[in-house]
């Protein structure tokens, strides 16, 4: 039997009914036979049910078939408890399951039940219900951060998380670069996705500040404000996160409707989203750094063999013709023995610098090991084979033969250059041909170049 209400509490039952409907947390009451006897407004909004089709329905009819056994077991456990047990033991442990909403959506939920079957006023099991989709999306954000593509994989669930009720914001994440360019990574709304976002745009989310902020439409450029008003938006929230090197900024822009309920403050959600964006931006930066280091030679700073392969694929995507020079340094091996390894490293670093200065701006220099370097030239077939490529090879030989100073000593080296020309699109084949040509140049005395006969034909 329900005890009398404390005299200090409101006595009008309508007060409690109104409070329950205003509470943003879904509340559900299920009778002993499994029928729904009550659901507050938050539950109806979550499930899509109405009072007409929701009240009186069998609760188990809305449960995902795969989750029925565990839900039935938990329900029977609560229902079979005595009234005395219910009032002394408090809430049962929460159970997670999925319901099928009225519109067919599958919603992950967590319900914590209290047995009030012995209470004459309620005579049911009272459930506090929580939508777990937010938890799942947050887990997907962290999984995305750990993926090979943290920006795309991490930002997508973050945007979905803010777009779903109760946040219900129209969201886009932009990737802004120091060179002034920007791209929309992911968006839940086309209008927001097409907002100006480059670093030169006259909008507040294009500046250096990444702090969470709210901007009223009157503060925006007239054309931007008009576009947002026409779409029914009333406010814009934005925040960002710089990568550690400030080369890239992830910028989140979220718009709320004119009548947005703001059940959970947008600023607090944007603040949390900014923290997640910071994780994503940092992970993306670290991935780029690791990838760059894996493709770069530590001593000279030039691309290594992996970097050469990566760049070659990009080069061949834009041209049909190229030439490969295989450069081996003459008289290098005695340097380590005579002057020490530090001197050898100095010579290699100097050679790398001279090579970069000797070639054309579009040519690509790499160190593939020891004293071996590879230069890739584009558009070097046909008429250019006997002019530009050969002239460049002679210039490289001349530059590398200039004396190198080291701790008061003068070190002299030379270069044997092998050249492979033609329409080959296989890097390893071109390197093999250029390597063979280089050995012919070295056997002829070094300090010269040789063109692969079959590639020159």
Block mean pLDDT (10 aa), the chain, length 457:
72 89 90 92 88 91 93 79 51 84 90 85 89 87 89 93 85 92 95 92 90 93 95 94 91 90 72 93 91 90 92 78 91 92 95 95 92 86 65 95 93 95 79 94 94 65
Note the pLDDT of residue 457: 44
pLDDT, residue 382, reads 44
Going from the C-alpha of 229 to that of each of 147, 172, 187, 197, 416, the distances in angstroms are 38, 17, 18, 18, 69
- Tell me the C-alpha distance between 327 and 308, whole Å: 14
Residue 375 CA to chain centroid, in angstroms? 34
What's this model's pTM, rounded to 2 decimal places? 0.66
| Cα 365 to Cα 343: distance, rounded to the nearest angstrom | 22
What distance in Å separates the CA atoms of residue 210 and residue 293, rounded to the nearest whole number? 29
CB 319 within 8 A of CB 382: no
CA-wise closest residue to 125 among 137, 114, 136, 139: 114
> Phi-psi region for residue 149, left (φ > 0), alpha (ψ -120 to 50) or beta?
beta
Q: Can you give the pLDDT at residue 380?
A: 46
Q: Which residue has the tokens 């070097």?
A: 380
Q: Which residues pair with 170 in a beta bridge?
A: 255
Place of tokens 């700073």: 301
Helix 150-163 / helix 266-294 crossing angle, nearest 10 deg: 170
Indicate the pairing of strand 106-116 with strand 95-100.
Answer: antiparallel
Angle (CA) 309-311-316 rounded to 5° is: 95
pLDDT, residue 85, reads: 55
Distances from the Cα of 250 to the Cαs of 4, 186, 274, 381, in angstroms?
57, 11, 9, 43
């Amino acid at each position: 039997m329900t005890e009398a209400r404390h005299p200090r509490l409101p006595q009008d039952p309508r007060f409690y009914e109104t409070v329950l409907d205003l509470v943003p947390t879904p509340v559900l009451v299920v009778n002993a036979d499994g029928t729904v006897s009550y659901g507050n407004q938050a539950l109806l909004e979550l499930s899509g049910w109405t009072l007409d089709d929701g009240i009186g329905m069998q609760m188990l009819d809305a449960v995902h078939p795969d989750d029925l056994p565990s839900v039935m077991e938990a329900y029977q456990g609560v229902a079979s408890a005595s009234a005395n047990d219910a009032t002394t033991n408090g809430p049962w442990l929460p159970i997670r399951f999925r319901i099928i909403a009225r519109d067919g959506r599958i919603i992950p939920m967590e319900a914590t039940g209290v047995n009030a079957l012995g209470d004459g006023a309620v005579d049911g099991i009272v459930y506090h219900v929580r939508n777990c989709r937010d938890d799942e999306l947050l887990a997907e954000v962290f999984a995305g951060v750990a993926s090979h593509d943290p920006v795309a994989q991490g930002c997508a669930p973050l945007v979905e998380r803010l777009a779903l009720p109760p946040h219900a914001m129209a969201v886009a994440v932009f990737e802004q670069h120091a060179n002034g360019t920007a791209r929309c990574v992911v968006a839940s709304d086309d209008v927001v996705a097409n907002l100006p976002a480059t670093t030169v745009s006259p909008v507040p989310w294009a500046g250096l500040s990444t702090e969470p902020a709210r901007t009223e439409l009157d503060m925006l450029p007239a054309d931007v404000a008009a576009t947002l008003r026409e779409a029914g938006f009333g406010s814009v929230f934005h925040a960002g996160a710089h990568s550690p090197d400030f080369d890239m900024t992830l910028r989140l822009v979220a718009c709320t409707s004119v009548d947005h309920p703001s059940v959970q403050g947008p600023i607090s959600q944007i603040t949390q989203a900014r923290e997640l964006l910071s994780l994503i931006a940092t992970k993306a930066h670290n991935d780029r750094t690791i990838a760059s280091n894996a493709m770069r030679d530590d001593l000279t700073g030039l691309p290594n063999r992996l970097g050469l392969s990566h760049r070659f694929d990009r080069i061949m995507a834009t041209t049909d013709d190229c030439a490969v020079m295989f450069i081996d340094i003459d008289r290098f091996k005695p340097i380590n023995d005579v002057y020490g390894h530090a001197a050898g490293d100095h010579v290699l670093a100097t050679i790398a610098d001279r090579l970069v200065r000797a070639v054309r701006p579009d040519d690509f220099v790499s160190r593939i090991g020891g004293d071996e370097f590879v230069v890739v030239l584009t558009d070097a077939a046909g008429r250019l084979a006997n002019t530009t490529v050969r002239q460049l090879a002679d210039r490289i030989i001349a530059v590398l033969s200039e004396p190198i100073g080291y701790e008061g000593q003068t070190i002299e080296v030379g270069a044997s250059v092998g050249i492979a020309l033609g329409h080959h699109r296989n890097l390893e084949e071109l390197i093999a041909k250029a390597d063979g040509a280089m050995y012919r140049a070295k056997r002829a005395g070094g300090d010269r170049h040789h063109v692969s006969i079959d590639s020159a034909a």
